[in-house]
Structure 1
Amino acid sequence: MDRLFRPRSIALVGASDRSIWSVSAFDNLKRAGFTGRVVPVNPKGGVIHGVEAATSIGAIGEPIDAALLMVPEAVMHDTLHDLKAAGVGGAVILSAGFAETGEEGVQRQAALSATAREAGIRILGPNCLGFANMADGAPIWTTPLRRPMPNPTLAVVSQSGALASQMEQFAYQQRIALTHMISTGNEADVTIADAIEYLAHRSEARAIALFLETVRNPAAFARAVEAANAAGKAVVVLKVGTSEAAAAAAQAHTGSLVGDDRVFDALCRRLGVVRVKSLEELVVTADIIGRIGKVERPGLAMMAMSGGLCEIAVDQAEVDDLPLPALAPETLAALREALPSYATPNNPLDTTGAAMTQPNLIAEAMRIVSNDPAIGLVSFVFDAPAKADARGFAARFIDAVGQGIAKAATPGLMFSHTFSPVSGEGRGMADAAGVAYSGGGLRHALTAISHLFRWSEAQPQALDLNRASGVRPQIGDGERGVLDYLASHGVPVIPGAVATSADEAVETARGFGGPAVLKIASPDIPHKTEVGGVALRLSGDEAVAQAYADIRARVEAAKPEARIDGVIVSPMRSGGVELFVGTLKDPQWGPAIAVGLGGVFVEALKDTSLRLLPITEADALEMMDELRGKALLDGFRGAAAVDRAAAARAIVAIGDAALALGSDLVSLEVNPLLADGERIEALDGLVIWEDNDEHA
């Protein structure tokens, strides 16, 4: 990988003065100050890009670390054999015509990969624009690049070369210096995971901005992120599309409720990956996290010379769930002493126009608020100018912010009021003052800070993709069999029994000492109400016996082919809050669990929270707290508050029971899990297996 990404000698195979790709690649090497040897290769020889060209790789006469292949697909295999003979370590393949073209292209790409493996050559691509190692001044990139900037901290990895190019241009506009930019293309060999893991071991990159379309090797991706975490580097991802889950996940009710993309969200949470929603958010967030690093506590102190901006910040912080803590009494007292009498100490803090004539107030206020026990990051809003003004006013303000950051007990950041380009001179002024500066504006900066806080608090967990056992245990048929299985794994379930006659139903109902519920017991009928298979609030022997007969008659008429084991008799439950708990199996990331409010809420609102299995009780508590309807759990309008700890224990037990059902499980659903004060009970259960969409 080092010979590919840190080459000391490079061959441009298929070089031509008439090729924009070749010209750009050669110019990029000159612009980056590449000090190694660059050899154009063309069968016709001659002078190309002002350099004597070799007629073949072998004709160069010395080992070459990396090659850029700009030759047609038809001669690619012969070219790779030539590279092997010449001892080339890695190759960037610009050429298209492989997996992106369909099944025949997939076969051509597989053959290409096999040839490269046999030759011992690492390949990037095909169908990619290359990479740019800015840290070492060694780009093999085929569209025009800007000159490398000093003090790089951010690496960009993208499955789309065009978007990587756009991110490089945007980063330059913001004067965000890149360490590396890697476009992986079709990933015949080097994958997105390989690129992340490589960068995890490079000291220059302090954060990795990732544009992702799909993950071709889930286990390798998880390992790569874990390597980045171990190195203290944030992985910030913009992912499009879904996890490409197969139809099996959608067969389960849970799958249709949460969607495949929610599984990737759960994966990011599990691995400590920051997920964003736009290219701007991707670059700004990764830049701020990379330069600030982890903070000790999630609390922002923000200062500006505008009360109106402070009010906007409060609204934006609420949207982003960004903590803007109230300052402690001793902090407020210190601010009153330091600031003019007409200033109102608060968070956010309006330093007032007094800071215009006394910039030292900025430094002192930053020092004071940074010592507040609730604050983990202190920030000041000020626009670095495009050019220094003649009287040096801007420099004085930026120097004051730098002094405040130097004296602060926490990390500090300066960001612009609005999304603004950053000039080289403006960035230079901030760097000289020791100020981490972002031109992302209030909106993107606050969003980035909220991501920073969550990333700092995250406790990534390793992901075992084989965490479901491969053995399917025996469980009884139908709803009661599922409930009995859940009970054996510590899930509280409603009492009940299967009656095969009206007399048995009456006898069982008597034992509950109150109203009863009757439900058809059939492995062929997962949705009982649709066939008239449920009767509620039955009191007295006559009502139970009649309900038994009516249910059998209705179901046998509606589903004459269905196997009927009898009728389940259980005590009637009312009140409380109905929860939905369901698991699904994503073909890439494995088993996951969803929790939501049951009944009409889960269907109409899809108000669910998702995690990859296994989960802890702390995870289950977080999931309940993420529900939009969580107020219903806390004694809404006089109802008893749900014992969330007891509910969390039941949710964890359901997840563990699902894992124990083995790798053939598609979904285990409990709907509803009734939560009524301290009483938590599974009232209904459903299992779906992979083979023939079999229901239990």
Structure 2
Amino acid sequence: MSAAPESPAQRQAIDRLFNPRSIALVGATERSIWSVAANDNLRRFDFKGPVHYVNPKGGTIFGAPAATSCAAVGEPIDAALLMVPEAKMIEVFADLQAAGVGGAVILSAGFAELGEAGAERQRDVAAAARSAGIRILGPNCLGFANFAAGAPIWTTPLRRPKPDARVAIVSQSGAIASQLEQFAYQQRVGVTHMISTGNEADITIADAIDYLARQPEPRAIALFLESVRDPARFATAVRAATAAGKPVVLLKVGTSEATARAAQAHTGSLVGDDRVFDALCRKLGLSRVHSLEELIVTADLFARLGPVEAKGLALTAMSGGMCEIMTDQADAEGIEIAPLAGATLARLREALPPFATPANPLDITGAAMLQPDLIPTALAALASDTSVGALGFVFDAPLKDDARGFARNFIRHIGEGFKAAGKPCLMMSHTFSAVNGEARDMTDAAGVVYSGGGVQHCVSALGHLAAHHAWRRRTAVAGAKAAPGIAGRPNGEREVLDYLDSAGVPVIPVRLARTADEAVSIAAALDASVVLKIASPDIAHKTEVGGVALNLLGEAAVREAFDTMLARVRAAVPEARIEGIVVAPMRRGGVELFVGTMNDPQWGPAVAVGLGGIWVEALKDTSLRLLPVSEQDVLDMLAELRGAKLLDGFRGAPGADREALARAIVAIGEAALALGPDLVSLEINPLLAEGARVEALDGLTEWRSA
């Protein structure tokens, strides 16, 4: 993947488009709902620059004289909204070029979304725009809104900009962008920018993210994604946003055909189509969510709460049932609820009423309604615990306070506790709740970060914040090794194991026997039970053709197994090239793991780890990362396996040294990278782990056809 950087001229044109000082509505008419909405938005935002109405018929539009072309305006134009029929689109660009327009939004549909004929028309439009030096957003696109600058080119009704906005929205779907903006408004989440990219004939999701990374206003980016057209540019843009302190929260739907094709390799079929993109999210520090509501809630908290230490959460409510709900949810999502120290529990016991039980999550009980000063005392005790990275308090900010000011006073006590905590703190609603101006005023006055997103999404968001902070700390100190290239294509078990051994991977000692006498001699030298395995570059799965014999001891057993195996395999696959039979010492016990690499057409090399032997097929219990990986990456992968407990010893079995395993798997990943892009898959099954002993027992490669 190699991304071509934007030229200064391309970047300047995008800047002119997304932050225009003058705008032309081309094809403006009072008879079109799109044209009316675009004009109303400009007035609602109080756009400061001139708005020019362009229609070949001239006349008066929206109370102003209309020019017959952009060139006829006679003034500089930064950005244009094109509301002209698809058949007339190409000829418009000569006029835009003559007027010195920087960029254009194409509302019109009828392009790539209609199939190959439409795609060809879209390519022609893109070529005309490129020839004219004009950047285009769309086609089939609702536009963009720069709330921060009061500059919208958006073709459905928008609400006025909000102060202190911090979240930007980027979406390939204009309708979804509108829904996100509406939900953000309900939650009083201020939006800085909203960009809909449509068919992406020119400006892509990556260009939009890169632009936002350079803007001072957004502190987080909420991204709705259907597909990625330029993987390298996308990764580069996400890294730029993260480096600028603007985390990207992502909702991705569907799976691309390119990723689905990766499943043709054996490893790909084990991990599934969408798992590679999950691995990309982990590599780039993307926070992947699964609903529109979660997308806005999480991006909002990234923008307003700041870094959350990757420690446990301390949660407080006035309901034992809510505490149990939070515990179950955190457990299901792998979010740590901080275990409280004895000293913390003692402080809570002293501060709370006798009928309250010190714990985390903490049920502060209804006593807090009568004694709100219990709140800062309890929060101070929780915050003092070194295992706590962030605190949450469940309370709904009302849309209107009562005449006695109860809610404002209660929230003030929560604010006192938050200020004294010295750690990120969040007040969250029980369920989804609207947040109006009065609710926001009450929480802001108390210095409280409040979300009406409900416990489920708020707890999940805190988990994303903690995971992102941990990722940043890891990537700050980790450095990926460059894998040297090698010549040749190791094929067959013996060649693959020999190659892995040369690459620093611990492997079982194996020797190739071409005759029964050689097999007997090798087994005698090992002085132990042995395994015989057929050696053939044409046989990937040896057990299916009777090509494996286990636990052989003594000359007679080895000789008989050798002769029987050759006859059985030749009968099963007579066309297979047989090099001989591999002899290796028999291993018993330990935990068998599967390690397989794959080369995804979009995102590049990846590695999967799971339980080995027959279990990898039966359970498909695997974890995936993009290569290269660090030892910490592999330790995280091992912890994600459902069968991870087996690594620590199960029912008296010896445990595995996870650090030794991690070192071996990192070496396997680097060995795969060194084999170059023609490698489809490198698989080790099993990789045996018992205590500090780690050995690759079998290896297999798959290559692209020459």
When normalised by structure 1's length, the TM-score is 0.96
Partner Cα distance (2:240, 2:593) in 1: 37
1:272 to 263, 285, 296: 285
Q: Aligned partners of 1:305, 1:465: CA distance in 2, in Å?
A: 48
Identity of aligned residues (%): 67
Query: Following TM superposition, by how much is the alpha carbon of 1:86 offset from its aligned partner in structure 2, in angstroms?
Result: 0.3
Aligned to 1:486: 500
Residue 51 of structure 1: how far off its partner (Å) = 2.5
Q: Determine if contact 2:607/2:624 at 8 Å carries over to the other structure.
A: yes
Cα 1:289–1:529 shift into 2, 3 Å: same
Secondary structure (helix, strand or coil) at the match of 2:488 reads coil
User: Residues 161 and 190 of structure 2 are in contact (CA less than 8 Å); yes or no, is this contact kept in structure 1?
Assistant: yes
Give the C-alpha shift of residue 523 in structure 1: 0.8
Structure 1 gaps, min length 5? none
Residue of 622, 635, 639 corresponding to 2:653: 639
Judge conservation of contact 1:519–1:534 (CA < 8 Å) in 2: yes
Structure 1 position 444 matched with structure 2 position 452? no
Aligned-partner residue type, residue 215 of structure 2: R
Residue in structure 1 matched with residue 521 of structure 2 by the alignment: 507
Q: What letter matches 1:398 in structure 2?
A: I
Deviations 1:357-412 (A, max 9, x none): 33233233333422322222222111111222222111111222223223321122
User: C-alpha offsets along residues 81-137 of structure 1, whole Å, 9 cap, x if unaligned?
Assistant: 111110111111111122222222222222222222222212111111101111111
Q: What does residue 113 of structure 1 align with? A: 126
Work out whether 1:529 is the aligned partner of 2:543.
yes
Q: Which amino acid aligns with 1:605?
A: L
Cα distance per residue 1:532-590 (max 9 Å; x no partner): 22222222212211211111111212222111111111122222111000000011111
Are 1:335 and 2:364 an aligned pair?
no
Q: Determine whether 1:321 maps to 2:334.
A: yes
Q: Secondary structure at the match of 2:164?
A: coil
In 2 relative to 1, CA 682–297 (structure 1 residues): closer, same or farther, beyond 3 Å? closer
Which deviations, in whole Å up to 9, do the C-alpha atoms of 1:587-619 show, x marking residues without a partner? 111111011001232111110111111112222
Mapped to 2, the partners of 1:347 and 1:247 lie a distance apart of 43
- Greater CA deviation, 412-421 or 579-588? 412-421
Tell me, in whole angstroms, the C-alpha distance in 2 between the residues paired with 1:331 and 1:504: 69
1:621 aligns with 2:635: yes
The equivalent residue for 2:171 is 158
Moved more, 329-338 or 458-467: 458-467
Match of 2:3 in 1: none
Paired residues of 2:167 and 2:218 also in contact (CA < 8 A): yes
Q: CA deviation at 1:683?
A: 1.1
SS across alignment from 1:551: helix
Residue 378 of structure 2 aligns with which residue? 365
Range that drifts further, 297-306 or 554-563: 297-306
Partner residue of 2:7? none
Conserved? CA contact 1:159–1:213, under 8 Å: yes
Q: What is the deviation of 1:627? A: 0.7
Q: Which moved more, 1:309-318 or 1:477-486?
A: 309-318
- Look up the match of 1:306: 319
The answer on whether the counterparts of 2:432 and 2:452 sit within 8 Å (CA) in structure 1 is yes
Does the CA-based 8 Å contact 2:429-2:454 persist in structure 1?
yes
- Cα drift, residue 336 of structure 1: 4.1
> Structure 1 residues 565, 297: CA separation in 2 closer, same or farther (over 3 Å shift)?
closer
Q: 1:64 to 1:475 in 2, by over 3 A?
A: closer
SS at match of 1:356: helix
Which residue does the alignment assign to 1:418?
431
Q: Is contact 2:483-2:671 (8 Å) kept?
A: no
CA contact (8 A) 1:132 1:139 kept: yes
- Distance verdict in 2 for CA 1:212–1:414, change over 3 Å: same
- Contact 1:388–1:394 (CA under 8 A) maintained in structure 2: yes
Counterpart of 1:218 in structure 2 is 231
Task: Specify the SS of the correspondent of 1:260.
Answer: coil
Once the two structures are superposed, what CA deviation does each residue of 1:436-494 show, in whole Å capped at 9, x if it has no partner?
Answer: 1111111111111111111111137599999776x562255411111111111111111
Corresponding residue of 1:546: 560
Q: Which amino acid aligns with 1:229?
A: T
Of residues 374-383 and 10-19 in structure 1, the stretch that sits farther from structure 2 once superposed is 374-383
Picking from 266, 273, 280, the partner of 1:253 is 266
Q: 1:264 to 1:466 in 2, by over 3 A?
A: farther
> Could you tell me which amino acid in structure 2 is paired with residue 332 of structure 1?
L
Identify which of 168, 181, 185 aligns with 2:194.
181
The CA distance in 2 between the partners of 1:77 and 1:63, in whole Å, is: 21
Find the aligned partners of 1:311 and 1:250 in 2 and give their Cα distance: 40
How far, CA to CA, are the matches of 2:31 and 2:294 in structure 1?
Answer: 38
Residue matched to 1:7: 20
Whether the 8 Å contact between 2:93 and 2:129 is mirrored in structure 1 is yes
CA contact (8 A) 1:95 1:128 kept: yes
1:136-175 aligned at under 5 Å gives the runs 136-175=149-188
> How far apart are the structure 1 equivalents of 2:166 and 2:95?
37
Determine helix, strand or coil for the equivalent of 2:668.
helix
Q: Would the alpha carbon gap of residues 368 and 529 (structure 1) be closer, same or farther in structure 2, given more than 3 Å must change?
A: closer
Q: 1:458 aligns with which of 465, 471, 485?
A: 471
1:250 Cα deviation from its structure 2 partner: 2.5
Output the CA distance in 2 between the equivalents of 1:246 and 1:308: 43
Give the match for residue 6 of structure 2.
Answer: none
C-alpha offsets along residues 319-360 of structure 1, whole Å, 9 cap, x if unaligned?
Answer: 122222133344334434444344333322222223213323
1:79 equivalent among 63, 88, 92: 92
Query: Does the 8 Å CA contact 2:396/2:428 hold for their aligned counterparts?
Result: yes
| Structure-2 separation of matches of 1:565 and 1:173 | 70
1:269-290 CA distances to partner (integer Å, 9 max, x unpaired)? Answer: 1111101111111111111121
Distance 1:87 1:520, change over 3 A: same
Q: What are structure 2's unaligned runs of at least 5 residues?
A: 1-13
Q: Distance in 1 between matches of 2:340 and 2:541?
A: 55
Q: Is 1:91 aligned with 2:104?
A: yes
Equivalent residue for 1:666, pick from 680, 692, 700? 680
Alignment of 1:338-353 (within 5 A): 338-353=351-366
Q: Tell me the equivalent position of 1:603.
A: 617
Label 1:592 to 1:243 Cα distance change in 2 as closer, same or farther (>3 A): farther
In 2 relative to 1, CA 367–635 (structure 1 residues): closer, same or farther, beyond 3 Å?
A: closer
- Indicate the SS of the match to 1:494: coil
- Count of matched residue positions in the alignment of Structure 1 and Structure 2: 691
Which residue of 34, 47, 50 maps to 1:34?
Answer: 47
Distance in 2, Cα, partners of 1:454 & 1:247: 28
Amino acid at match of 1:556: R
SS in structure 1 at match of 2:526? coil
Determine helix, strand or coil for the equivalent of 2:93.
Answer: helix
How far 1:248 moved relative to its partner? 5.7
TM-score of the aligned structures, taking structure 2 as reference length? 0.94
Distance 1:552 1:656 in 2: 35
Asked if 1 retains the 8 angstrom alpha-carbon contact of 2:480 and 2:630, the reply is no
State the Cα deviation string for residues 51-77 of structure 1 (Å, max 9, x = none).
Answer: 222111111110011100011122212
Give the secondary-structure state (helix, strand or coil) at the position aligned to 2:207: helix
Q: For residue 656 of structure 2, what is the amino acid of its counterpart?
A: V
Counterpart of 1:386? 399
Distance 1:333 1:542, change over 3 A: closer
When structure 1 is superposed on structure 2, of 88-97 and 243-252 the one drifting more is 243-252
Partner Cα separation in structure 1 for residue 240 and residue 259 of structure 2? 29
Which amino acid counterpart does residue 213 of structure 1 have in structure 2? E
Give the match for residue 369 of structure 2. Answer: 356
The answer to whether residue 233 in structure 2 is matched with residue 241 in structure 1 is no
- Taking structure 1 as reference, are residues 540 and 297 closer, same or farther at Cα in structure 2, changes over 3 Å only? closer
In structure 2, distance between residues paired with 1:326 and 1:487: 44
**1:243 to partner: Cα distance:** 4.4
- What code does the residue aligned with 2:270 have? L
